[in-house]
Amino acid sequence: MTDRYRRQLRYLRVSVTDRCNLRCVYCVPGTPQPRLKHEDILRYEEILRIVRVGVKLGIAKVRVTGGEPLVRRGLVGFLKELTAMEGLHEVTLTTNGVRLEEQIQEIRQAGIRRINVSLDTLKPTTFMRITRRNRFRKVWAGIMAAYRAGFDPIKINVVVLEGINDGELADLAGITRDYPFHVRFIEYMPIGHTGCDYGRQIFRDEILERIERLGALTPIPHQSLDGPAERYRLAGARGEIGIISAISHNFCSYCNRLRLTASGQLRTCLLSDEAIDIIGPLRKGCSDRDLEQIFIQAASRKQERHHLNDICRQSVDDRMSAIGG
């Protein structure tokens, strides 16, 4: 599946739920939000069918995300089916880690080996401020459980927010000295009317400058299967540091992703509201051939780049928790 800009689309991010047990300030508004009705969420067997069709068209990697994937019942059985799917080379999971400790063995038995955990701070009080929930210790225990269970790599996603966790960047990077984790600093993307605004953004150069206070960073050469992170290592560190600068240095020219939302929309870009309905045709009994056409249509509509940082900013209405980060 190749788009108009000759990008081969090999990577599907699948959001299995819009529900989450945290309320991160950069991801969801503070006020209660309407949730999808149970019947409006893709069933696992529907997702598997869509993924199978995607694999036929060249999808080789799936990341399971949310909302919070570990709050959806039956997830482990679904992961097992995915990891066993012929033609799918990689299945990974992104979680906030709150329920990780209790599920880690089952997740491993389901065949998952690579995991991303979101953790923006090492301070329980700041964790509470960001996520509006007091779960820091549970998340850290989840990360440690994944480490003991042999997950590799364990990537820790840190969204950098001015005035909230920007004073901790060196400490967070310092985790890579003690553990073989990949700590990835993500530029905050102002989408979804969360009440967190452009003033919270800190860009790549400043992030790097703050981390370098800890010591010199040696760049790690980019390899063909690497994602969008620029990679670095601190001298003597066991792990590595990544910077994901989707806003200041967009990586659209080699974006190979499509996104399937929990509500059954195929989205062409995280930072645009462009979406093609797939749940409707699916539930009206469409054929696999029709599903293929939907993928091909999505590929043909994928834009050359996102427009979130243009002077006249294009905005994204949907919440990150609904799209799947």
Which residues are at the interface with ligand SAM (CB under 6 A)?
20, 26-27, 65-66, 68, 94-96, 118, 157, 159, 186, 188-189, 191, 320-321, 324-325
Beta strands in 99-256 (DSSP E): 115-118, 154-160, 182-187, 217-220, 230-234, 240-244
**CB 153 to ligand SAM: min, Å:** 15
**CB 4 to ligand SAM: min, Å:** 27
CB nearer to ligand SAM: give 5 or 198.
Answer: 198
8 strand-pairing partners: 2
CB nearer to ligand SAM: give 14 or 159.
Answer: 159
Distance in angstroms (rounded) separating the CA atoms of residues 320 and 317? 9
CB nearer to ligand SAM: give 26 or 295.
Answer: 26
Q: Is 242 helix (H, G, I), strand (E, B) or coil?
A: strand
CB nearer to ligand SAM: give 115 or 299.
Answer: 115
Tokens 């749940």 found at = 279
**CB 17 to ligand SAM: min, Å:** 9
Give 42-95 as a DSSP string: PPHHHHHHHHHHHHHTT--EEEEESS-GGGSTTHHHHHHHHHT-TT--EEEEEE
Q: Which residue is nearest to ligand SAM (CB)?
A: 325
**CB 57 to ligand SAM: min, Å:** 25
Q: Is 135 helix (H, G, I), strand (E, B) or coil?
A: coil
How is residue 27 written in tokens? Answer: 């991801």
**CB 68 to ligand SAM: min, Å:** 4
**Which letter does DSSP use for residue 31 in this model?**
S
Sheet containing strand 230-234, strands side by side: 217-220, 230-234, 240-244, 182-187, 154-160, 115-118, 90-95, 61-65, 11-15, 257-260, 265-267, 275-277
Inter-residue contact 64 to 16 (CB < 8 Å)? yes
CB nearer to ligand SAM: give 19 or 233.
Answer: 19
**CB 256 to ligand SAM: min, Å:** 18
CB nearer to ligand SAM: give 247 or 294.
Answer: 247
CB nearer to ligand SAM: give 3 or 187.
Answer: 187
**CB 223 to ligand SAM: min, Å:** 22
